[in-house]
Homo-oligomer: A and B are copies of this chain.
Amino acid sequence: MATVTIYDVAAKAGVSIKSVSRVLNNEPNVSPTLRTKVEEAAASLGYRRSLSARSLAGASSSLIAVLVDADLTIEHWKSGRGSDYLGRLEFGALMEARQVDYHLMIELVDHNSPDLERDLMALLNSIRPEGVILTPPNSDNIAVMDVLDAAGTPYARIGPEAAFDRGFCIEMDERRAALEMTRHLIDLGHTRIAFVTGPVAYGASRRRLAGYRDAMAEAGLEVAPAWVVEGDFTFNSGALAMEKLHQTAPDITAIFASNDDTALGVLQCAARLGLSAPGDVAVAGFDDSPGAGFSTPDLTTIRQPVAEMAAAAAQRLIPPLRRLLKGDANARVIVPHDLIERQSTAQSVR
């Protein structure tokens, strides 16, 4: 396992190490002959540049760091609310990164740790990533962005809520998606459509609610106050909302919940109340979380394009990829979503 170094390649090709370096980095001023010689030597030796040497010598570290929130992850488990969000995110970023030999490093941060800034600074100091991908809730963490800006490290924020002038913002149009889903229900013949919100503190909740209202207004449908019930993105809150709606607005024919967990709760409670879905009440969710496809009935929902968002982030953070984007590398990107139609909204209203 003798390590193959640039010297070995240079020796084999009969040139200087600088020439090898030039070829490897696609620098100008290299004769085709030399290029060929070097490439052949490198290939035959199975040579690969050492990341650390490169990084130490001042070139790119070829590293993208993904900052994942520890608290949120733990909370998700405890509440039994896991998702493949992270897996999809990483995959999307990785598919881009691997093309140009970049690597992905996953780091845990506590978004409300008092040492956050010190820790983050230390992290940057120690691994020197070329770019950082911020996942919620760190996508909106001012302290994190400040440290990153101070370090001069570019960052992409997945699903940011505000301050859209900082970093690269990679989003989906949640308001629009909620509008489309509501419109979908209206097209199915529903007119009395209830909405279960998420926690008011979340911008996503507010945007989804706004989209619902947009669609209703657009169709000239009034929204009775009783139709909008507060939830908190959990299964339980969905069940409670269903119960409440059953009492205060029994004449509704469709319920649009702010996320899938909530919608699943609605579904379960409806069954308990003897209401069939979609027969008595159509139900729609948001996120396309795992499980949405396996409920009875399976859930009509909006698929968040997580992998695509991560890919867009990677394209903006990795210089060789950004160059390919040319002028399209806007700082704010809206990635298209999908409406996935399943059984929970299957038939039109009787």
A residues lining the B interface (CB < 8 Å): 1, 3-4, 46-56, 61, 68, 70, 73-74, 76-77, 80-88, 90-91, 94-95, 98, 101, 103-108, 118, 121-123, 125-128, 150-152, 235, 261, 264-265, 267-268, 271, 289-296, 307
Contacts and interface: CB of A to CB of B under 8 A. Distances in A.
A279 to B, nearest CB: 13
A82 B267 CA distance: 21
Contact of A106 (B61, B106, B291): B106
A128 B295 contact: no
B48 A52 contact: no
Nearest 4 CB-CB pairings of A with B: A291-B291, A82-B84, A52-B52, A52-B55
Contact of A104 (B52, B105, B122): B105
B53 A290 contact: no
A264 B294 contact: yes
B50 A290 contact: no
Given A49-B126, A56-B53, A118-B46, A88 B95 contact: no
Nearest to A4: B125
Nearest to A260: B294
Contacts of A265: 294
A108 B151 CA distance: 29
A296 B267 CA distance: 8
A150 B125 CA distance: 33
Nearest to A340: B80
Contacts of A264: 294-295
19 contacts: A1-B152, A46-B118, A48-B125, A49-B126, A50-B128, A51-B126, A53-B56, A56-B56, A73-B87, A74-B91, A82-B88, A84-B290, A104-B106, A235-B293, A264-B294, A290-B290, A291-B292, A291-B294, A291-B295
Copy number in the complex reads 2
A52 B57 CA distance: 9
Contacts of A118: 46
B83 A290 contact: yes
Contact of A151 (B1, B95, B122): B1
A235 B292 CA distance: 12
Contacts of A51: 52, 126-128
Contacts of A77: 88, 307
Contacts of A103: 105, 107, 127
A82 B73 contact: no
A50 B46 contact: no
Contacts of A150: 1
Contacts of A104: 105-107
Contacts of A94: 106-108
A277 to B, nearest CB: 10
B56 A235 contact: no
A223 to B, nearest CB: 27
